[in-house]
Structure 1
Amino acid sequence: MKGSGWDVAVVSGTGVERQVRNYGNVRSCLEYQDYLEAVAALKEGTVDAVIMDRLDALNSLKRFGGNDLKLVGERLTDRKGRAVFRPGDDMLCLQFNKALLELIRDKTYEQLSVKYFGVNLLDNKNIKKPLLMDVSIRDIRGADESWAEIQKKGVLEFGIMVNNPPFCYYGQDKRLTGFEVELTEAIAKKLGIKYKLVVMERREAYDALIKGRCDAFLYGTNSINSLGGKVVYSEPYYFSGAQLVVLAESPINGPETLNQRIPSFKSLLRRRMIKW
């Protein structure tokens, strides 16, 4: 802290810029488009703290070493990764949820999570057992045909957003790789079916789903109604949100430190005179 307040970098997309500017002990709020540039500014001493997505923060710690950085305080926002399915494709969503839970139980999910983020993203999270998990779909009255159609087609087509490491990106061999790529592969293996990745932009994912270009897509969102409630969402496959990151030796221990007002010199002098 230099002078009277903290200098804070906020990475675009976290949605907390206005909130941070209103904190009582923040002198400046600088917006960065790239979280790596924000982390570099933190290490160089240009800013005192960075607010960025938790998963980006974990990725930074894993890629560049976490001895000089730390994540502090509770998340300022709540964001979850979910698979999104067409309206009415409840049985297909159920199968995804079942496969995800099995990956959690056999530690496959944890292995993938640690590989890309250094921690288990679902550690200590209560992932609900999918309803009707132990019931055959043939025994469910009124079950839709979404899963049966996928089995008949023989392949599950997943929409995925590329150029978003470590979730999905092109490796040195020019092949798609990343956390979501390997998770999709593991889900398909559990389901006993082939899979195909359909590369798309985030803004076109909903239309691609509705028009049948893919059977589902992976999507991180702050609200389950962000797509208008017209789709079917899976159980979360990660939890994230805006996270405060500081240097290891920083006295900042959470958002409350940034919001704690420092009394002015006159105020301190007045209090001292009252005591006298």
Structure 2
Amino acid sequence: MFFSYLYRLQTRLIVKRLCEDTSTGLYKPDNCFLKGGKMTKKGIWTGVAAVAIIILLLLVLGTSKKEGYTVAVVTGTTFEKEARKFPGVAEVKLYEDDNQTLTELSTGRVDAVITDRLVALTGIEKGGYDNLKLAGDLLYRETIAVALSKEDDALRQAINKALNQIIADGTYAEISRKYFGTDIMLDVTRPVTFPNEAPASDDSLEKVLKEGVLSFAMSGGYPPFNYYNEKNELSGFDVEIAKAVCKKLGVRYKPVTTAWDGIIEGLRAGRYDGVWGSMAITEGRLNIVDFSDPYYISGAQLVVRKDSPITGTESLQ
């Protein structure tokens, strides 16, 4: 809008100047355009000057760019809110998964990505993004757990018990080493989401045991936690941990893939029993769903190209 106003103003000034009567200084349109029904030389030059100014200003407008960086995040994640905090971020672009965000970063279409640290490390290695690196420390820690409906306390407590069992018997560590080369819960103190609560008396666990199946939703595009492998099979850390928990409960595991930005609404609508897809516990989410005790702790990480001037969050201030 500013450039549009500017080129209109400049054009008027040029036209006025070229159309002035040199003897009186007064504006005379006849001097400029038509005289005896024919275009005058001055009229021609006025038109040329006006067109040149318009073209120049349109070029400036077309090539102008917002000051600041463009950051890519997965839509519906806590990373979007974090990216918008920084004054040095001019634009936050939203994508369906981190396969897309890292590709966009590697090819230069965005300046940085904010995602989970473990996702970033694995994504860079598996995707062969030799031109990408992690920048700076964690932006913040995230506690990752299973989201469940608020009325399903008995099911949630049973999942907590099964999680403790697979951690104690070494199943968790074995799965963790498969995906990360180490036990990511080693020497980590797991917080309890609802400490000192009484045993639940609702029928949510009874219903699941009767049906013999437990369904969990995820995006299916969040490697190494949940993704489709080269055989087009759903795989990942989330998937295998959930399978191990279902085995402890004596039920069949049923994964459901869905868009992340509507995944909680699907849970509340009863389309699946829970969300087991690396969802972080937040105050906002706790207002509408409950969470199990965490099954891993991670955090938000900034990812940039190796030749980027961005060295960490201080570069985004």
User: Which TM-score band (shorter chain)?
Assistant: 0.5 to 0.7
Which residue in the other structure is 1:55 paired with? 118
Which residue in the other structure is 1:17 paired with? 83
Question: Is contact 2:106-2:132 (8 Å) kept?
Answer: no
Which residue in the other structure is 1:79 paired with? 142
When residues 19 and 210 of structure 1 are mapped into structure 2, their CA distance, relative to the original with a 3 A threshold, is: closer
What SS does the corresponding residue of 2:283 show, helix, strand or coil?
A: coil
Answer yes or no: is 1:35 the counterpart of 2:101. yes
When residues 123 and 75 of structure 1 are mapped into structure 2, their CA distance, relative to the original with a 3 A threshold, is: farther
Report the Cα distance in structure 2 between the residues aligned to 1:31 and 1:142, rounded to whole angstroms.
43
Report the Cα distance in structure 1 between the residues aligned to 2:133 and 2:114, rounded to whole angstroms.
12
| 1:246 CA drift (Å) | 5.8
| 1:8 CA drift (Å) | 6.0
Which residue in the other structure is 1:108 paired with? 171
Which residue in the other structure is 2:282 paired with? 224
What amino acid sits opposite 2:83 in the alignment? E
Report the Cα distance in structure 2 between the residues aligned to 1:201 and 1:247, rounded to whole angstroms.
28
| 1:227 CA drift (Å) | 3.5
What SS does the corresponding residue of 2:139 show, helix, strand or coil?
A: coil
Answer yes or no: is 1:186 the counterpart of 2:186. no
- Structure 1 residue ranges, 4+ long, deviating more than 6 angstroms after superposition: 65-69, 129-133, 247-253
1:248-259 equivalences in 2 (<5 Å): 254-256=312-314
What SS does the corresponding residue of 2:137 show, helix, strand or coil?
A: coil
Report the Cα distance in structure 2 between the residues aligned to 1:224 and 1:240, rounded to whole angstroms.
14
Quick check: which has more Rg, 1 or 2? 2
Report the Cα distance in structure 2 between the residues aligned to 1:245 and 1:141, rounded to whole angstroms.
43
Which residue in the other structure is 2:9 paired with? none
Bigger share in helix:
2
Report the Cα distance in structure 1 between the residues aligned to 2:209 and 2:202, rounded to whole angstroms.
13
Which residue in the other structure is 2:24 paired with? none
1:202-221 equivalences in 2 (<5 Å): 202-221=260-279
| 1:234 CA drift (Å) | 0.8
When residues 66 and 117 of structure 1 are mapped into structure 2, their CA distance, relative to the original with a 3 A threshold, is: farther
Which residue in the other structure is 1:144 paired with? 202
| 1:176 CA drift (Å) | 1.9
1:38-65 Cα deviation digits (max 9, x unpaired): 55258xxx96x75443132121344257
| 1:233 CA drift (Å) | 0.7
TM-score (norm 1): 0.67
Report the Cα distance in structure 1 between the residues aligned to 2:261 and 2:315, rounded to whole angstroms.
36
Question: Is contact 1:62-1:117 (8 Å) kept?
Answer: no
Answer yes or no: is 1:235 the counterpart of 2:298. no
Provide the identity percentage: 34
Give the paired residue count: 241
What SS does the corresponding residue of 1:205 show, helix, strand or coil?
A: helix
What amino acid sits opposite 1:98 in the alignment? K
Report the Cα distance in structure 2 between the residues aligned to 1:203 and 1:41, rounded to whole angstroms.
25
